[in-house]
Amino acid sequence: MPPAPRRLLTALWTTSTYFAEGLPYSIVHQISSQFFTAAGASLQAIGLTSLYGLAWNLKFAWSPLVDMISTKKNWLVRLELLLAIAIALLFWPSLNFDLVLAAKIFLVIAFIAATHDIAIDGYYIQSLNNTDQAAFSGLRVAAYRIALLVGNGALVVFAGMVSWQACFLAGAGIMGILALWHHVILPKAQPSPTTLDLSTVKEAFYSYLQQPYILIVLGFILTFRAGDAMMFAMATPLLKNLGYDTAMRGFLSGTVGTLTGIGGALVGGAIISQYGLRRCLFPFTLIQSLSIPAYAGMAYAEPGLSWVAGVIAFEQLAAGVGTAVLMVFLMQRCSQNFQATHFAIGSALMSVAATLAGSASGFIAAKVGFTVFFLIAFVTSWPGVVLAWLMPARVHHG
């Protein structure tokens, strides 16, 4: 296939697969928070929705299965069908805000979605060389954030204007359509040449830990999203506290915020492709950190709509460039033989701090108030910034 048509096809499937990765994440992490907030749950209960991140924390444990059984295309198509079914099941608890049943279904969705992520990331890394991975990183993150726009924006607004039942059925319908689309459009992926045995699984994990400067790499991955995760967990309750209803929260966080996040991802990906990971890692990590105290200022001043929208837009722009640089960093930690497993290890480690910080956030915010809470989140982001500054040049491939 000539280069231009091949790149177009790659752009198409990169966009649709990472949209398909982002929408279940939005449903589990963003829409669940909106649903619990609308139901009048406590700050502690809303913060504990971050524990759904355990599925992403633990996904490395079963990631070798995706590398060694069938093809990654088969995995992702079948998992998208399962996601469509599971999301549709949320129709029943949404009828009367049955939070116990809803929590259980969200948990099931989380584990299916985490496995789906392994398949998509592995397919992407397997299909593209390092240069193309960096070149398409902005599009990849932008597509993911468009899914967040549809989830935390359009679907939440839909829930506020129509019903939560309609919201969840619409989400299920989108995932079903994506499964059919990917069955048709995705180029065939080759099955793994490796066999599933204990020695191969050990090799996959051991080889990840053999990379240069592994301690500083692991420290950076673990702390990169900690402050941002704390901020994210209490963003919806803060907006409710400022007087914004479900539909307006969907517009502010989902539409205004996600659109600027998409812009940040595209700009970040383009800059990384042009200048390389080494030059971008520290400044992008710093920008992400500096967006958090803006939320403390918003909680303290309780400004009008235009200021609230501006703060959200700035934070999401910073998160977009931060996500772009982190994804390239994680991809460059993957070896050819264990792409899905190695990326799953890195992304799982990334989400550990997010799960712990996010689940504790409701208790902290209830104790100290929103203003002090967001300042604590800012301080929590500092270790990641310091480690980005200290990262040895040998670690960077791009």
* pLDDT value, residue 184: 93
Query: Which of 280, 377, 270 lies closest to 322 in space, CA to CA?
Result: 280
Range 309-316 average pLDDT: 90
pLDDT beyond 60 at 193: no
Q: What is the pLDDT of residue 194?
A: 52
Mean pLDDT within 325-336 = 83
Long-range contacts of 214-219 (CB under 8 A, 24+ apart): 216/387, 216/390, 216/391, 216/392, 216/395, 217/333, 217/391, 217/395, 218/349, 219/383, 219/387
DSSP 59: G
Cβ partners under 8 Å of residue 241, min gap 6: 370
Given a contact cutoff of 8 angstroms between Cβ atoms, the answer to whether 329 and 277 are in contact is yes
Pairwise CA distance, residues 61 & 73, whole Å: 20
Residue 398's pLDDT band, with cuts at 50, 70 and 90, is very low
Kindly state the average pLDDT of the residues 173-202: 79
DSSP single-letter state for residue 292: T
- 44-61 pLDDT, tens digit per residue, is 898 888 889 899 888 888
Residue 2 confidence (pLDDT):
45
* Each residue's pLDDT tens digit, 69-103: 888 899 999 999 999 999 999 999 999 999 999 99
Note the pTM of the prediction, 2 decimals.
Answer: 0.73
The size of the chain, in residues, is 398
Q: How many domains does the chain have?
A: 1
We report the CATH number of the domain holding residue 60 as 1.20.1250.20
Q: Which residue range forms the structural domain that includes residue 83? A: 3-395
User: Can you read off the two tokens belonging to residue 19?
Assistant: 């949209």
State how far the Cα of 19 lies from the Cα of 200, in Å rounded to an integer.
32
Which of 187-191, 192-196, 287-291 comes out lowest in average pLDDT? 192-196
Return the minimum-mean-pLDDT range out of 42-56, 91-105, 120-134, 281-295. 120-134
What are 150-164's pLDDT values in tens digits? 998 889 989 989 999
Residues 175 and 172: their CA atoms lie apart, in Å, by 5
Q: Beta-strand (E) ranges in 24-145?
A: none
Could you tell me which residue, 385 or 133, shows the higher pLDDT?
385
Instruction: Of 10-19, 77-86, 258-267, 324-333, give the lowest mean pLDDT range.
Output: 258-267
Per-residue confidence (pLDDT) for residue 1, from 0 to 100: 45
Q: What is the mean pLDDT of residues 174-186?
A: 95
Q: Is the pLDDT of residue 146 over 90?
A: no
Q: What is the mean pLDDT of the chain?
A: 87
Asked whether the beta carbons of 378 and 292 are under 8 A apart, the reply is yes
